[in-house]
Structure 1
Amino acid sequence: MKFQQEIRDFLMSRRAGISPEQAGLPHLGGNRRVQGLRREEVAMLSGLSVEYYTRMERGKLGGASESVLDAIARALQLDDDERAHLYDLARNVAPGSPRKHPKRTPPVTASVQQVLDSMSVPAVVQNGRLDLLAANDLGRALYADLFTMAKQPPNFARYAFLDPRAEDFYADIDQAKNLLVAVLRATAGRDPLDQKVTELIGELSTRSTDFSTRWAKHNVHRHLRGRKVINHPVVGTMDLAYDDFALPGDPNVSITTYTANPGTPSADGLTLLATWADTQKQPQRTNDEVHGSSTTSTVGTSERRDGGDR
């Protein structure tokens, strides 16, 4: 029943966002009792009977052919991410669809960490649940706030909606929140039986009305590439491009890198970030050096003092 409700809400939200004019339908005047397209208009645009489309919008997508799904996607003017989400929803209610998760091996191996450490730009490993699973030194420096959160592993959605520092960190917090919610929605559509995803969504919905309001919009997005502007507490404002590279064995776990255009203030910011990241590794070594030099100094003084006595 949960899957059917998800399908219903998604399709209704998509047709509510398209006006007859946007769909190329003639304006007939009069008051419309529904926002956006009516079911019969979507059915007509899809080349389906009203009864068949109505049944599908009620969650009966199981067994729908690819051509039918494509027709609905065209009628509702779905983008690539929304189309993929529709296919995920249909697969989850298809007869014989799996109801158990395959066991996954831990994605962050020593070799993956080596790859991260070999990169000269900030890099992190994250999953579809938006957990930050690993990072190189620059990645840790970029997201220093997240690594100090009480609940670990760090989670981008928890940070954006539950940590007040996020308001300053993201130059456009509204855009950041919309993106994170849309990524979570796409993740839930791919694997609605993932208990950890369900728990995270439940936690955020309970603790943040802002999250629940955005969640109800049913927007979806695949986190592949884009740009984000951040206000780093040490370095300042940086406009960064991010790119996702899926790890072999689990397409929902990826390495995300952050780069800046050469010769820009943001590129200078990354250079400064690298310098600051290095200083974060210095205190322990510095303390060791201090203790070592202090010991040597004490021994030398003692020897000189003993020598003087003799």
Structure 2
Amino acid sequence: MAAAREEGSVKIAFIGLGIMGMPMAKHLVAAGHTVSGYNRSRAKVDEFAADGGTAAASVTDAVQGADVVITMLPNHPEVEEVVLGQGGVLESAEPGALLIDMSTIRPETSIAIAEAARDKNVRVLDAPVSGGEAGAKQAALSIMVGGEEADFAAARPVFEALGKTVVHVGPHGAGQVVKAANQLVVGGIYGLVSEAIVLMEASGVDAKTGLDVLAGGLAANRILDLKRESMVARQFQPGFRIDLHHKDMGIATDAARQADVALPMTGLVAQLLAAARAMGHGSLDHSALLKVVEQLSGRA
């Protein structure tokens, strides 16, 4: 990593100031880094600049002179365009710069980007995150990182401004595989919590009280901790949208095919999320899987 402008500080380009990216970029500014932010929506760039960041007019503008480039984008086509396209990261980055893609995309795309970057003398890490909007706002994300050990060590100060669990999980693409595993587990738990709510309510049991008990026993999990009250109240303001989780389950099922393994429960959860989108719930929080389970039981 290039020499810091101030001790402990690096120049960072942050591309993708969305629900997750905006608070992450702001945490990096608060940590003392010089952060240039770019987003297709100019309003997002202006908001970031108002909170101490530097506004960039384009990907090229953001990336030039940066020690670290972070991308936080919705899916692999956007990452490919921003990184590999004309005026993109690999055309604009300084030799020796470190590209950290924190998007959730296909493992094979992460590997392909790392291979393309090698020819440009740009180092790459794939570092998807878990924790949703709340984790991003609280700088409490779980970050799973694929790539070279030395690059991970160099990036650790950046990661520590964004998350509480930061782990190097293997070579290029490994971060995306672990994120796929994370998403299949999260989706499965949402489905089971939804079924528990429907069962209790249909049986005349107060679901809130029942979930309080479950949260104190072997069934305890972070989803019960964070979402049981909002699910019982049918409050589905998006922290992580059904649309995005549906995309992630496609990554998980594709990864299973690549690895030649059978993941039957993952397939079922993927279909439930597809049903949620088909019902028009794609913009709701992924806890809205409850609406699908209710529909299946005739209790919508």
TM-score normalised by length of structure 1: 0.29
TM-score normalised by length of structure 2: 0.30
The structure with more radius of gyration: 1
